[in-house]
Amino acid sequence: MEIIIDGGTIVTISSKGIIKDGAIVIENGRITDIGKSHELKQKHPRYEKINAKGKVVIPGLINTHQHAAMSLLRGYADDFPLKQWLENWIWPLEKHMTGHDIYVGALLTAIESIMGGTTTVNTMYHYMNEYNEAKAFAKAGIRGIIGHVCFSWRKKEDIKALRTLAKNWHNKANGLIRTSVDPHASYTVDPEYMKKLRDLTTELNEEYGSPTKPIIWHMHVAETSDEIEKIRQTFKVSFEGGVVEYLDSLDVLGRDLIAAHCVTLTPKDIKILKEREVKVSHNPISNLKLASGISPVPSLMKAGVTVALGTDSPCSNNKADMFEVVKTTALLHKGVNQDPSLMPAEQVLRMATIEGARAMLWDHEIGSIAIGKDADLAIVDFKKPHLYPLHNEVSHLVYSAEASDVETVLIKGKIVMENREIKTIDIHQVLEMAEKTKESLLERLAKRSS
Amino acid sequence: MEIIIDGGTIVTISSKGIIKDGAIVIENGRITDIGKSHELKQKHPRYEKINAKGKVVIPGLINTHQHAAMSLLRGYADDFPLKQWLENWIWPLEKHMTGHDIYVGALLTAIESIMGGTTTVNTMYHYMNEYNEAKAFAKAGIRGIIGHVCFSWRKKEDIKALRTLAKNWHNKANGLIRTSVDPHASYTVDPEYMKKLRDLTTELNEEYGSPTKPIIWHMHVAETSDEIEKIRQTFKVSFEGGVVEYLDSLDVLGRDLIAAHCVTLTPKDIKILKEREVKVSHNPISNLKLASGISPVPSLMKAGVTVALGTDSPCSNNKADMFEVVKTTALLHKGVNQDPSLMPAEQVLRMATIEGARAMLWDHEIGSIAIGKDADLAIVDFKKPHLYPLHNEVSHLVYSAEASDVETVLIKGKIVMENREIKTIDIHQVLEMAEKTKESLLERLAKRSS
């Protein structure tokens, strides 16, 4: 299909900067031309036209840390101390989740993400065979990396799941779906298993991956302050230093790792993250809600580490809203460092787009509006009171725009939402399924407890 | 007009708690009955019905600190150090603002507020005669307290403005508009003038106010860490202690004062705030954006101080979105105090409703859904992906709902927005006016500078 998005202000997140009264030409899912409206629309008079007058076109936002299926538990338990929250609420209910539940939860998150201008999601959950997050993402038409989360207590099951996941889903759904290997964290995956997962990743990449379409790693790293103590106690190691330094001692760090959170880092940890080219996924809303601490993002960026953004799960956020994460990132580090010039708007918008693509090793195809890249785009309606008057598009995108201002979304050139209507799936059916699935999940929990 | 809001879940913010499948009866602007849908709709079959099935009805949100007219400067300058931001950007442009500009800016904020479920706004700005914030609020049909901000350098002008404001607007517009006396801050209003403003307030209350409809005070208090030093230098006083303690030494504190920000407080300051029954307006987004610091809200609440919420101006936020302020409040204090059980959802929702009403000395008429109170209500549409599934309405309102989920808003029983359509004014005209007014403001600035 050939499309021309015409008449909008294009925020390219590239050296082309901002193009007013611009146009984007899309052919076979890719951006083939970018320029001024009056030039491009004469060149392509018969292309399907999307009128973007008075609107702002941005690269689709990239969410680098999710557990998409957990939307079913949104608002189920909040405001509890972490241990109590996990052990008394989240884990007991999660135990009852079936593959179909996971599918429904991920579908709900996929739709919510698209409706908020997010076109790519990196999600970590339990992979199940028939129904799973990959199937849900493919159905919704959203781009994503689907991981299977690994724990020491289920090695055999994990390895089987990782093999099936890579085989069935890596580089599938017209290239929109990739897969990852997701050690849960340094304190739940023992040193031997961690190394074994590295070997397995190499093996899986040889069979199913390629240098430009790799199977990557996704892990929780240094989320809370007690991790190194847990590692010492659980694995009987006598390590002194930070969690990143510990992981480096196992020789498992690399440019293909998305390290979620990175809240409690030593200066040496930051140095290692840079040296090993590890990518950090910053999740400020989740870190605040769970009171994990505040990631030293300005220091990470100063050290030259790639920092991208994530929502984390709908239980610790409780949304899949990247606009909210963008604004919170811009605000939080100014506030806690008492410096209003930190994290300026443009920098944070880059973190939600091109830096996210870099983190996912996908920046040759997504993350900015550039000729040759896939057309993953969000068209934002600026005709709203909170976006008036207009002094500066980037300021408005970061500080004033909200998820619901996104009007139309394209992923790989396919219109997945138009005028806020999801085109890939019946949204009312998904909402109904989500409510029913939650009810049945709670019933199973009640039965088991009684 | 008689209305019945029927079939919704009513979050009363009163001892009645949450009423599922409930109804609210409104007669002549007041709530006259609350109960179960099946009972009330039989009793009042001929009342105009607003169908709230699948929706959640909450008291209109109360924004206790705004400078409504400043929406015209939204996104004009961000990410600068405070002094540079004010002196090089905000103040030079503000100097050119006319009464009509103020009217247009306030109109834009009034509309944005209503569209986000806010029904009452406490705003501080420069009062001008013909066109002003009061006129804009009355036009939009929003409830508010309109203040005139006072500085030592323009005493005569201030006193004239305060008299005219009280005379023309206190308890006007069907009782929706009240007025206030707004000393800018302790470092810009000298001790003598501060005391004089207290006397003037007493005088104005005798003439235009009443114990249940008072003219109140609204002031910036302890927003930044350098205030006490500024007081010492500017007014040549040798005071040791906090800003609140200093104000108390002038005998100007009282239960009618809304103290905005209260970021840098001493333990003694907190004690005095409680003793004098001063109300605190917490503005977390603005405090983070301007890097002012973080107000010790949990300590204030523990001491028994009434803490309400505010957005601050559209230049330091950059929205009039109370849902965002609610979520940020719930998150921020958990995060910086490393305690996820702090500021639970219900408590924060109270701060945005009944505590806001208390702060404005208006809680006998607004702030909760109760028989005898005015019908200031927001109906929130829960049929959205980010509000599915439903475990807990209050959790969703605080952590997941957003301004654009508000569907219908009533203020004193009048429908001011229905299905997201503003009924009191032509919104497109306001948006156009806002853009034109900004253009003309920038032109005047350019002319003056050239």
Residues A395-433 have pLDDT tens digits of 999 999 999 999 999 999 999 999 999 999 999 999 999
Cβ distance B434 to A289 less than 8 Å, yes or no, reads no
ipTM > 0.95 (yes/no): yes
SS3 content of chain B, % helix, strand, coil (to 5): 40, 25, 35
Between CA A10 and CA B212 the distance in angstroms is: 53
- Please indicate, yes or no, whether residues A42 and A191 belong to a single structural domain of this protein: no
Chain A CB within 8 Å of residue B320 CB: yes
Cross-strand bridge partners of residue A178: A145
Do residue A261 and residue A337 come from a single domain? Answer: yes
* B83 class by beta-carbon count within 10 Å (0-12 exposed, 13-18 middle, 19+ buried): exposed
Alpha helices in A69-190 (DSSP H): 82-84, 91-94, 99-115, 133-140, 155-169
Nearest Cα neighbor of B65 from B225, B217, B291, B255 is B217
Integer Cα distance of A100 and A414 in angstroms? 26
Please state the rounded mean pLDDT for residues A114-134.
Answer: 96
Q: Map tokens 């003056």 to a residue.
A: B448
Q: How many CB atoms lie within 10 A of CB B396?
A: 25
Tell me whether A82 touches chain B (CB under 8 Å).
yes
- Chains A and B form CB pairs within 8 A to the count of 209
Please report the pLDDT score of residue B450 as a whole number: 66
Put simply, the answer to whether B389 touches A437 (Cβ < 8 Å) is yes
List the helix and strand counts (H, then E) for chain A.
17, 17
- Same domain for B260 and B386, yes or no, is no
List, in sequence order, every residue forming a beta bridge with A267; answer none if it has no partner: none
Cα–Cα–Cα angle for A216, A218, A219, nearest 5°?
Answer: 150
Residue B428 lies in a domain: no
pLDDT per position as a tens digit, B396-415: 999 999 999 999 999 999 99
In a domain, A264, yes or no: yes
Option in A294, A390, A437 nearest B435 (CB) = A390
Percent of all residues in chain A with a pLDDT value above 70, rounded to a whole number: 100
B399 touches chain A (CB under 8 A): yes
Would A395 be classed as within a structural domain? yes
Whether residue A164 is found in the same domain as residue A219: yes
CA–CA gap between residue B117 and residue B59 (Å, rounded):
9
Contacts of B157 (CB under 8 A, 6+ apart): none
**Using CB atoms, which residue from A339, A342, A399 is nearest to B318?**
A399
According to the model, what pLDDT value does residue B136 have? 98
B88 — alpha (psi -120 to 50), left (phi > 0) or beta?
alpha
- In the beta sheet, which residues pair with residue A134? none
Place of tokens 């109906």: B379
Cα(B133)–Cα(B147) distance, integer angstroms: 9
CB contact under 8 A, B389 and A438: yes
In a shared domain, residues B130 and B243:
yes
Q: pLDDT tens digits, residue range A72-88?
A: 999 999 999 888 998 99
pTM of the model: 0.98
Does A392 sit within 8 Å of B79, measured CB to CB? no
Q: Is B83 on the interface with A (CB under 8 A)?
A: no
Chain B contact for A63 (CB, 8 A cutoff): no
Rounded CA separation A82/A291 (Å): 8
Contacts of B437 in chain A (CB under 8 A): 389
Determine the Cα–Cα distance for residues A16 and A33; give it in Å rounded to an integer. 12
How many angstroms separate the CA atoms of A78 and B349, rounded? 14
Order of strands, edge to edge, in the sheet holding A143-150? A61-66, A118-125, A143-150, A177-183, A216-221, A257-261, A279-282, A307-309
Bridge-based pairing state of the strands B118-125 and B143-150: parallel
Neighbours of A338 (CB within 10 A): 14
Nearest CA in chain B to A395: B75
Residue ranges in chain B modelled with pLDDT below 50: none
Interface with chain A: mutation pick from B142, B343, B386, highest number of A CBs within 10 Å: B386
State how many domains chain B has.
Answer: 2
Taking a C-beta distance cutoff of 8 angstroms, is the pair A340, A334 a contact?
A: yes
Identity of residue B224: T
Asked, for residue A131, whether it belongs to a domain, the answer is yes
Cα distances (angstroms) measured from residue A293 to each of A80, A222, A224, B336: 16, 10, 7, 7
CA distance B338 to B340: 7
Q: What is the mean pLDDT of residues A129-158?
A: 97
> For A18, phi and psi rounded to 5 degrees?
-105, 130
Question: What is B87-145 written as a DSSP string?
Answer: IIIIHHHHTT--HHHHHHHHHHHHHHHHHTTEEEEEEEE---SSS-HHHHHHHHT-EEE
What's the pLDDT score for residue B83?
Answer: 85
Same domain, B304 and B399: no
Among candidate residues A375, A382, A381, A379, the one with its CA nearest the CA of residue A409:
A379
B85/A contact by beta carbon, under 8 A: yes
Model confidence over A11-45: pLDDT tens digits? 999 999 999 999 999 999 999 999 999 999 899 99
Phi and psi based region of residue A425 (left: phi greater than 0; alpha: psi -120 to 50; beta: remaining): beta
The shortest C-alpha distance from B108 to chain A (Å) reads 6
Inspect the interface and report whether the beta carbons of B321 and A402 lie closer than 8 Å: yes
Task: Give the residue among A259, A309, A311, A326 at the shortest CA–CA distance from A113.
Answer: A311
* Mean pLDDT along residues A220-241: 94
Residues of B in contact with A390 (CB under 8 A): 75, 435, 438
Q: Is A347 part of a structural domain of the chain? A: yes
Domain that holds residue A386: 2-59+373-421
Residue with tokens 């508010």: B144
Could you say which of B289, B383, B403 has the minimum Cβ distance to residue A340? B289
Position A447, amino acid: K
Co-location of B113 and B210 in the same domain: yes
What CA–CA distance (Å, rounded) separates A159 from A220? 19
Whether residue B85 and residue A340 make contact (CB cut-off 8 A), yes or no, is yes
Using DSSP's 3-state secondary structure scheme, residue A175 falls into coil
Residues B142 and B22 placed together within one structural domain of the fold = no
- Partners of B391 on chain A (C-beta within 8 Å) are 73-76, 438
B10 domain residue, yes or no = yes
Extract the tokens encoding A147. Answer: 């991981």
Percent of chain A with pLDDT over 90: 96
Q: A275 and chain B: CB distance < 8 Å anywhere?
A: no
Q: Collect all residues with Cβ–Cβ distance below 8 Å to B203 and sequence separation of at least 6.
A: none
Q: Grade residue A450 by pLDDT with cuts at 50, 70 and 90.
A: low
- The mean pLDDT of chain A is 97
* Whether residue B329 sits in one domain with residue B211: yes
Contacting residues for A292 by C-beta, under 8 A, at least 6 apart? A82, A223, A224, A261, A263, A286, B335, B338
Q: Does A74 touch chain B (CB under 8 A)?
A: yes
- Between positions 280 and 309 of B, the ones with CB within 8 A of A are 285, 287-294
Helix (H, G, I), strand (E, B) or coil at A201: helix
Given CA atoms B179, B180, B181, B186 in this order, what sign does their dihedral have?
A: negative
- Kindly state the DSSP code that residue A307 receives in the 8-state scheme: E
- Any B CB within 8 A of A446 CB: no
Q: Answer yes or no: do B119 and B228 share one domain.
A: yes
B354 and B374, same domain (yes or no): no
Sequence-distant (6+) residues with CB within 8 A of A449 are none
Contact yes or no for A73 and B391 at CB 8 A: yes
Residue A222 is which amino acid?
A
Q: Please report whether residue B448 resides in a domain.
A: no
How far away is chain B from the Cα of A116, in angstroms, using its nearest Cα? 10
Rounded Cα–Cα distance for residues B39 and B37 (Å):
5
Between B74, B292, B391, which is nearest A389 by CB?
Answer: B74
Provide the shortest C-alpha distance from residue B196 to chain A (in Å): 35
Interface subset of B 196-225, CB within 8 angstroms of A: none
Output the DSSP codes for B171-238.
TBTTTTEEEEEEE-BTTTS-HHHHHHHHHHHHHHHHHH-BTTB--EEEEEES-STTHHHHHHHHH---
Burial string for B246-278 (b: 16+ CB within 10 Å, else e) reads bbbebebbeebbbbbbbbbbeeebbebbeebeb
For B108-132, write each residue's pLDDT tens digit.
Answer: 999 999 999 999 999 999 999 889 9
CB pair distance less than 8 Å for B399 and A319: yes
CA distance B397 to chain A (A): 10
Query: B416 to chain A nearest CA, in Å?
Result: 15
A336 contacts chain B (CB < 8 A): yes
The residue that leads in pLDDT, A401 or A449, is: A401
Determine how β-strand A118-125 pairs with β-strand A61-66.
parallel
Put simply, whether A340 touches B (Cβ < 8 Å) is: yes
The answer for residues whose C-beta is within 8 angstroms of residue B322's C-beta and 6 or more apart is: B61, B62, B63, B113, B116, B117, B118, B309, B311, B352, B403
A281 and A235 in one domain?
A: yes
- Write down the pLDDT at residue B449: 72
B431: nearest CB among A388, A405, A439: A388
Q: Do A389 and B434 touch (CB under 8 A)?
A: yes
Question: Can you give the CATH number for the domain in which A42 is found?
Answer: 2.30.40.10
Whether B360 has its CB under 8 Å from any CB of chain A: the answer is: no
CATH number of the domain bearing residue B156: 3.20.20.140
Query: Which among A293, A385, A395 has CB closest to B338?
Result: A293
- Would residue A308 count as lying in a domain? yes
